Amino acid sequence: MKATVIREYGNFDNIALEELAVPEVGGKEVLVAVQASSITFSDLALITGKPLITRPFMGFFKPKYRIPGSDIAGRVEEVGREVKKFKPGDEVYGDISDINRGGFAEFVSVPETAIAIKPANQSFEEAAAVPEAAHVALQAIRDCARVKPEEEVLIIGACGGIGSFAVQFAKYYQANVTGLCSADNIELAHSLGAAQVIDYTRENFSRSGRQFDAVIACVGDYSIYDYRRVLKPRGRFVLTGGSVRQFLQGALLGPMLSREKGRKFHTMLVKPNADLDFIRHLIEDGHIKSLIDKRYQLTDLKAALLHYKGGHSRGKVIISIKS
């Protein structure tokens, strides 16, 4: 099979497309013929080793995993003798970031618990955009922020991979959604469900005088005190991504600020694949959709990574494994 292989940290010239043996299938494993994957921040960290705070998860001195790619969508090729949920031919999707990765390859063998039946109304490319980003967004909105109907919710990075799903989930839970994005994305943010949109290039959201019941920071490089300023007295802040500074402030200062009466500050720890079936039903019922920025072939992975690293993707960057 063709697979993207990395052996040491470095730039994108460090990756190579190689011919490898198809993985063997254990008793509780499923062999998936991968049709599409999508790039995540963790893939970038695995390839480059940066930022350094990711090294405990990716490997201190060399990459922990040989083949990147955590979001997958594909077709079941073979099942282990103890597998009960799937059969050959089933169309599936999932997040394998906490298993062994390997999504940037034609085949990957994963535990049956790591995947679920993909939405019937989505292509493989659309489904590959879903697993990690939708899980982070859903759990941020539903579990951490505990968004309620009619609450005011601000999504930082409303048209990015996670942010585009966060807007839709907040809308699904009947919140009044405000999206923060650039002027080029205002119309798109409205189409996803944002009732109001702030153009961050023209307006400092933290100085607008507005306050919110919940703020979900999917990207950005703002001070945690900017977020504190726009939270209502019992508001909730959830950090899912952004700059190293933003992440460190959220992780280190968030617990301290949460001791103050009322406001709560959370740094997101996602539970992969916990809600794949729930998300599938929402997609099939038309409540949630994927937002795809660009599509690349596996042979063009370097170009895809460079585009993703630019930081201005509208939705997900997709890697088509099967042409």
CATH number at residue 316: 3.90.180.10
CATH number at residue 173: 3.40.50.720
Residue 36, in any domain of the structure:
yes
Name the percent of the chain in helix, strand, coil, to the closest 5: 35, 25, 40
Residue 274, in any domain of the structure:
no
Q: Are 166 and 62 in the same domain?
A: no
Q: Position of tokens 């500074």?
A: 245
Q: Are 16 and 99 in the same domain?
A: yes
Q: Are 150 and 199 in the same domain?
A: yes
Pairing of strands 264-267, 231-239: parallel
Q: Are 190 and 166 in the same domain?
A: yes
Q: Are 32 and 115 in the same domain?
A: yes
Q: Are 98 and 8 in the same domain?
A: yes
Structural domain boundaries enclosing 201? 133-267
Sequential pLDDT tens for the chain (323 residues): 999 999 999 989 889 999 999 999 999 999 999 999 999 999 999 999 998 888 888 888 899 889 999 999 999 999 999 999 999 999 999 999 988 899 999 999 999 999 999 999 999 999 999 999 999 999 999 999 999 999 999 999 999 999 999 999 999 999 999 999 999 999 999 999 999 999 999 999 999 889 999 999 999 999 999 999 999 999 999 999 999 999 899 989 999 899 887 899 999 888 888 899 999 999 999 999 999 999 999 999 999 999 999 888 899 999 999 75
Given a contact cutoff of 8 angstroms between Cβ atoms, the answer to whether 316 and 289 are in contact is: no
Res 323: pLDDT: 54
Determine the Cα–Cα distance for residues 302 and 13; give it in Å rounded to an integer. Answer: 7
Output the pTM of the full model: 0.95
Q: Are 147 and 101 in the same domain?
A: no
Residue 285, in any domain of the structure:
no
Residue 33, in any domain of the structure:
yes
Q: Are 123 and 148 in the same domain?
A: no
Q: Are 140 and 247 in the same domain?
A: yes
Residue 283, in any domain of the structure:
no
Residue 281, in any domain of the structure:
no
Q: Are 180 and 259 in the same domain?
A: yes
Residue 206, in any domain of the structure:
yes
Nearest 5 degrees, angle CA 54-CA 126-CA 275? Answer: 65
Given a contact cutoff of 8 angstroms between Cβ atoms, the answer to whether 94 and 276 are in contact is: yes
Pairing of strands 212-217, 196-199: unpaired
Number of domains in the chain: 2
Q: Are 140 and 116 in the same domain?
A: no
Q: Are 94 and 154 in the same domain?
A: no
